[in-house]
Amino acid sequence: MQNTATPTHCPYCALQCGMNLTATPEGTVEVSERADFPVNRGALCGKGRTAPAVLSSGVRLTSPLVRSEGTLVPASWDEALDRIAEGLSRTRTEHGPDACGVFGGGGLTNEKAYTLGKFARVVLRTSQIDYNGRFCMSSAAAAGIKAFGLDRGLPFPLEDIPKTGCVILVGSNLAETMPPSLRFFNELRENGGTLIVIDPRRTKTAEQADLHLAPRPGTDLALALGLLHLVVAEGRVDEEYVRERTSGWEEARAAAMAHWPEYVERITGVSVPQLRETVRMFCEPESAMVLTARGPEQQSKGTDTVGAWINLCLAAGRAGRPLSGYGCLTGQGNGQGGREHGQKADQLPGYRKLDDPAARRHVAEVWGVDPDSLPGPGRSAYELLDALGTDIKSLLLMASNPVVSAPRAAHIEERIKSLDFLAVCDVVLSETAALADVVLPVTQWAEETGTMTNLEGRVLLRKRAITPPEGIRSDLEVMHELAARLGVEKGFPTDPEEVFEELRRASAGGPADYSGITYRRLAEENGVFWPCPAAETDDSEDASLDVRGADDPAQEQDDDLAAAVHPGTPRLFLDRFATPDGRARFVPVVHRAIAEEPDDEYPVLLTTGRVVAQYQSGAQTRRVDELNAAAPGPFVELHPRLAERLGAAEGDPVAVVSRRGRAVAPARITTAIRPDTVFMPFHWAGEGRANTLTNPALDPTSRMPEFKVCAVRLETVRG
Is 344 a residue whose pLDDT tops 50? Answer: yes
Calpha distance 521→554 (Å, rounded): 7
Q: Annotate 78-140 with three-state secondary structure.
A: HHHHHHHHHHHHHHHHHHCHHHEEEEECCCCCHHHHHHHHHHHHHHCCCCCEEECCHHHHHHH
CA distance 62 to 78: 15
Positive or negative: CA dihedral 262, 265, 266, 267: positive
Q: Are 289 and 167 in contact (CB under 8 A)?
A: yes
User: Confidence class of residue 639 from pLDDT cuts 50, 70 and 90?
Assistant: very high
Q: How confident is the model at residue 306 (pLDDT cuts 50, 70, 90)?
A: very high
Mean pLDDT over 501-509 rounds to: 98
End-to-end Cα distance, the chain: 53
Output phi, psi for 3, to 5 deg: -105, -15
Query: What confidence tier does 536 reach under pLDDT thresholds 50, 70, 90?
Result: low
CB half-sphere exposure, 263, CA atoms < 13 A: 16
CA separation (Å) from 118 to 100, 438, 490, 566?
Answer: 14, 22, 12, 27
> What's the confidence (pLDDT) of residue 718?
82
pLDDT surpasses 50 at 562? no
Quickly list H helices, 196-248.
Answer: 220-233, 239-245
Distance CA 529, CA 532 (A): 7
- Tell me the domains of the chain and their CATH numbers: 6-55 (2.20.25.90), 65-134+337-498 (3.40.50.740), 154-328 (3.40.228.10), 604-716 (2.40.40.20)
pLDDT of residue 58: 87
Mean pLDDT calculated for residue range 184-191: 97
Mean predicted confidence (pLDDT) in 599-615: 97
* 462: pLDDT strictly greater than 50: yes
What is the band of 3 on the pLDDT scale with cuts at 50, 70, 90? low
State the CB neighbour count (10 A cutoff) for residue 551.
13
Instruction: Look at 77-86, 546-555, 705-714 and tell me which has the smallest mean pLDDT.
Output: 546-555
Which 3-state string (H, E, C) describes 618-684? CCCHHHCHHHHHHCCCCCEEECHHHHHHHCCCCCCEEEEEECCEEEEEEEEECCCECCCEEEEECCC
**Residues in a beta bridge with 665:** 654
List beta partners, residue 63: none
Full strand arrangement of the beta sheet holding 450-453? 450-453, 458-462, 528-529
pLDDT over 80 (residue 535): no
Residue 547 reports pLDDT greater than 80: no
Residues 311 and 314: their CA atoms lie apart, in Å, by 5
Query: Quick check: 477 and 494 in contact, CB under 8 A?
Result: yes
DSSP codes joined into one string, 572-629: --SS--SSTTS-EE---------SS---SSS-EEEEEE--TT--TT-TTGGG-HHHHH
Has residue 552 got a pLDDT over 90?
Answer: no
Distance CA 559, CA 580 (A): 32
Residue 548 predicted with pLDDT over 50: no
- Residues 313-333 have a mean pLDDT of 95
Percentage with pLDDT > 90 across the chain: 92
Length of the chain: 719
Report yes or no: 213 and 78 within 8 Å, Cβ to Cβ: no
Please tell me the number of Cα atoms within 13 Å of 485 on its side-chain side: 20
pLDDT of residue 719: 61
Question: Residue 437 above 90 pLDDT?
Answer: yes
Mean pLDDT of 261-269: 98
pTM for the full predicted model: 0.94
Structure confidence at residue 213 (pLDDT)? 98
Over residues 598-611, the mean pLDDT reads 97
Averaged pLDDT for residues 489-514? 97
Is the per-residue pLDDT at 644 higher than 70? Answer: yes
| Section 63-92 average pLDDT | 98
The predicted pLDDT at position 537 comes to: 46
For position 540, what pLDDT does the model report?
Answer: 39
DSSP state, 498? H
Average pLDDT, the chain: 94
pLDDT at 163 over 90: yes
Cα distances (angstroms) measured from residue 129 to each of 301, 352, 383, 715: 24, 16, 11, 39
pLDDT of residue 2: 47
- CA–CA distances in Å: residue 384 to residues 302, 393, 564: 20, 11, 43
Highest-pLDDT range among 23-27, 329-333, 682-686: 682-686
On the question of pLDDT at 558 being above 80, the answer is no
Q: Residue 66's beta-bridge partner residues?
A: 73, 438
pLDDT at 557: 38
Residues forming a β-bridge with 9: 18
Above 80 in pLDDT, residue 20? yes
Question: pLDDT tens, 351-402?
Answer: 999 999 999 999 999 999 999 999 999 999 999 999 999 999 999 999 999 9
Say yes or no to pLDDT of 223 above 90.
yes
Around Cβ 414, how many Cβ atoms within 10 Å?
A: 11
Angle between helices 134-148 and 302-315 (to 10 degrees): 40
- pLDDT top residue among 2 and 351: 351
118-153 tens-digit pLDDT? 999 999 999 999 999 999 889 999 999 999 999 999
